[in-house]
Amino acid sequence: MKVLVVGSGGREHALCWAISRSAKCKKLYAAPGNAGISQIAECVDISVMDDAGILEFCKSEKIDFVVIGPEAPLVAGLADVLAQAGIKSFGPSADAAQIEGSKGFMKDLMAKYGIPTAAYGRFNEPDAAKEYILRLEEKVVVKADGLAAGKGVILCHNKNEAYAAIDHLMTERAFGFAGDEVLIEEFMEGEEVSFFALVDGKHAIALASAQDHKAAFDGDTGPNTGGMGAYSPAPIVDAAMHDKIMEIVINPTIKAMADEGCPFTGVLFAGLMISDGEPRVLEFNARFGDPECQVLMARMQSDVLDALVACSDGTLDKINISWSDDTALTVVMATNGYPGHYDKGSEIKNIAAADAMDGVNVFHAGTKYDGERLTAVGGRVLGITAMGKSVLNAQTKAYKAVDAIDWPGGFCRRDIGWRALKR
């Protein structure tokens, strides 16, 4: 098969790495890709939001299958454009991608079908949102309704912080149209976990569990980010919890989407809060998480391309997925200043030494070559991923590789995996 992966992040590098190992993949392209992806795929300079350009490339190169990585092109309808041209792809339709593209749609769906989640209110006017907050407990969560690159969720510890969050999203328009409507939710306590399932519209296969680290700094302090590290499996998701999540979250959501006339295909990513043995949904996403995808691809032993194609073909019930028993752990290296303002163009050296370490893969995100120089051009730049017999073993390997990289312009958390180690 000729395969095109759409995207340029660490998630897409991990997907390219996994797909490139499939015997069925005869030629691999990425649009637009990054410096790391260019080592295993042919990168083409097409934006993820250029539907016409992607379609033209697929036709000219006779692409058999397209894997759509990021949420923005999914919400904008790239899968629909490809389907209309008879090109198979992995990823939901625009209608189904609303489960991530509109938090209001997502919450209303869960409320209608009894899927466990936090109590909430929806508002498109700041004063009404602030009035609602008056009636709530001190701690609330304020969310932009639309896509905000993982940064549109603000945890507020008192009412003044909540009022400021509403102003930030709705008046200052920190995330543009995404903040035209906001959701205000009760603050859920517990342990957060990422749960992924491949879906073909009717059938679902659960993937391995993972835990992300959203906060920028050690000890889960600082602002929320797109994710500063992850590990898999997550000890909190034992066999009983796995079955419960499938029974009360994943399977009812798949049926609800079909009943609403927008059957879901692709990967359904449930961000869950688990408290007293009960999971509740924080949010759904319509694509692989980043950096969770890196640890999932590192642990997956079966052919990922077979599984992705089965989602498109409606044949997931004929697929089995096998996993390594080892732990995978990813440490994200980000540019100094992220998730706030950061400079671009700092040089990164000694990647090869880290990549050559036993059980280590360095997945690129915001990188490009400036001549012979490897430079940082994004916020989250590298995902150093290590496999180990335990969380501690994987963590030790990952940080050894991090320390081998020469990049004064970057930083990372030094405590990825702390929850699992604490257990």
CA dihedral 73, 75, 76, 78 (to 10 degrees): 50
Do the beta carbons of residue 183 and residue 146 sit within 8 Å?
Answer: no
* CATH 3.90.600.10, the chain: domain bounds: 327-422
Beta bridge partners of 249: none
Indicate the class that CATH gives domain 2-90: alpha beta
Q: What is the CATH number of domain 327-422?
A: 3.90.600.10
- Profile the chain (423 residues) by mean pLDDT over runs of 10 residues: 98 98 97 98 98 98 98 97 98 98 94 95 92 86 85 88 92 90 92 96 94 95 92 95 97 97 98 96 96 98 98 96 97 97 97 96 97 96 98 98 98 96 85
pLDDT at 345: 96
8 A C-beta contact, residue 287 and residue 100? yes
- How many residues does the structure list for the chain? 423
- Determine which helix (DSSP H) or strand (DSSP E) holds 289, and give its type and residue range: none
The pTM of this model reads 0.93
CA distance 102 to 181: 9
pLDDT digits 0-9 by tens, 75-90: 999 999 999 999 999 9
Residue 345: count other Cβ atoms within 10 Å of its Cβ.
12
Rounded (10°) angle between helices 10-20 and 292-299: 20
What's the pLDDT score for residue 227? Answer: 94
Q: Which amino acid is at 258?
A: A
Q: What residue ranges of the chain are covered by domains with CATH 3.30.470.20?
A: 191-318
Q: Does domain 119-186 have CATH number 3.30.1490.20?
A: yes
pLDDT digits 0-9 by tens, 139-181: 999 999 888 876 788 889 999 999 999 999 999 998 898 889 9
For domain 191-318, give the CATH superfamily. ATP-grasp fold, B domain (3.30.470.20)
Please state, in angstroms and rounded to a whole number, the distance separating the CA atoms of residues 245 and 421.
23
User: For residue 304, what are the contacts with CB-CB under 8 A and spacing of at least 6?
Assistant: 15, 18, 19, 22, 297
- Whether residue 302 contacts residue 322, with contact meaning beta carbons closer than 8 Å, is answered with yes
Contact 275, 190 (CB under 8 A): yes
CATH 3.30.1490.20 residue spans of the chain = 119-186
Count other C-beta atoms under 10 Å from residue 373's C-beta: 12
Q: Which ranges in the chain are annotated with CATH 3.40.50.20?
A: 2-90
Instruction: Kindly report, residue by residue over 171-207, the tens digit of the pLDDT.
Output: 999 889 888 999 999 999 999 999 999 999 999 999 9
- Of 405, 304, 398, 302, the C-alpha closest to 359 is 398
